[in-house]
Amino acid sequence: MAKRKAAIVLSIAGSDSGGGAGIQADIKTITALGGYAVSAITAITAQNTQGVLQVQMLPPELVQAQIKAVLDDIGADIIKIGMLGTAEMVAAVTHTLSAYDIPIVLDPVMIAKGGAALLNEAASDALARELLPMAHLLTPNVPEAEVLSGQTIQNLSDQKRAAETLLGMGPQAVLLKGGHLPGEIIHDVLVWEQGEAVFEGPRINTRHTHGTGCTLASAIATWLALGLQLEEAVRLARRYVQKAIEHAPELGAGHGPLGHGWTFQPPR
């Protein structure tokens, strides 16, 4: 078999009409970092920087067909999963991916930046039960980690404890992001069976942070597909997101999108 010319990342996620998160953010990120993006869209959303106006889930069997069409022909080095929405979608994606031996980066998208729920309670339970054990890496933020772990997270110590709890639920590694906690320094906690690493960086005071979770997970997935080890992939992905926030195009009246294409722009 001929060697692939690109690191292929399959994103399974919802579509964001505002272009800041979901499939759009994933494709921009993967491309900006030198990967090749393929996709399976789970939902169509009508949204902008001020919130989610409407959500239409696609039939699970159509999502399964998208996944199979891509993997049976083009293939993938890694899979990034974002918005799934319903327990039926979780079950369909889990069943389909069980036939393939491909690492999964699971970003458990539950709530949009503006506060809209994107994963119902039954889907959260299904995700914890069915998909977490399949994940190479789980990347929850604090509210998502609280739902999945059943613990309250108020500081770095709580982050570490919750991350260990989530690790015990089946994924090979957990990156618990701390951006929702107060303070001028943000801590992200990475745990895996052999160890722990804490990443920290200054908080950037801006409203243009829509899609940071999708972007970070996709960046990590791309770096892993390119052959980096997990800790280095996380470090470089965090740097990419920080620069994307700094290069945000400042669009819209609400939570604006990131500048995903900063890698193509001259330094400023």
Is 214 among the catalytic positions?
yes
pLDDT of residue 117: 63
Give the burial string for 89-98 (b: 16+ CB within 10 Å, else e).
bbbbbbebbe
CA 88 vs. chain centroid, Å, equals 20
pLDDT at 50 over 50: yes
Point out the least confidently predicted range of 125-129, 256-260, 262-266.
Answer: 262-266
80 is catalytic: no
Where does the chain have alpha helices with state H?
Answer: 22-32, 60-71, 87-97, 121-126, 142-149, 156-167, 212-225, 230-246
In angstroms, rounded to a whole number, what is the distance separating the alpha carbons of residues 103 and 224? Answer: 9
Q: pLDDT at residue 245 above 80?
A: yes
Query: 58, 86 in Cβ contact below 8 A?
Result: no
Identified catalytic residue from 85, 213, 256, 259:
213
pLDDT confidence tier of residue 266, bands split at 50, 70 and 90: low
Give me the pLDDT at residue 6, please.
Answer: 84
Kindly name the residue from 42, 94, 96, 209 that is annotated as catalytic: 209
| pLDDT the model gives residue 2 | 45
β-pairing verdict for 7-16 and 35-48 = parallel
- Per-position DSSP letters for 22-40, written without gaps between them: HHHHHHHHHHHTTEEEEEE
What stretch of H or E contains 13?
A: strand 7-16
Q: Is the pLDDT of residue 41 over 80?
A: yes
Question: Which is catalytic among the residues 211, 215, 222, 259?
Answer: 211
CA distance 206 to 51: 17
Predicted local distance difference test score (pLDDT) of residue 82: 97
Rounded to the nearest 5°, which phi and psi values hold at 160?
-65, -45
Using alpha carbons only, how large is the chain's radius of gyration in Å? Answer: 17
Domains located in the chain, CATH noted: 7-262 (3.40.1190.20)
User: What's the whole-number mean pLDDT along residues 22-49?
Assistant: 97
Distance CA 216, CA 25 (A): 10
User: Mean of the pLDDT values across residues 153-169?
Assistant: 97
Q: pLDDT tens for residues 104-121?
A: 999 998 876 555 666 777
Amino acid identity, position 177: K
Q: Reply yes or no on whether 256 is catalytic.
A: no
Known catalytic residue at 42: no
Instruction: Choose the catalytic residue: 29, 214, 215, 256.
Output: 214
> Quick check: is 96 catalytic?
no
Q: What is the pLDDT of residues 163-179, one digit of tens each?
A: 999 999 999 999 999 99
pLDDT value for 119: 73
The number of beta carbons lying within 10 Å of the beta carbon of residue 230 is: 18
Catalytic annotation on 3? no
* Bridge partners, 38 (sequence order): 10
CA atoms of 142 and 160, how far apart (whole Å):
11
Write down the catalytic residue from 42, 45, 139, 212.
212
Residue among 45, 177, 178, 222 flagged as catalytic: 177
Confidence of residue 4 (pLDDT cuts 50, 70, 90): low
pLDDT confidence bin for 265, thresholds 50/70/90: confident
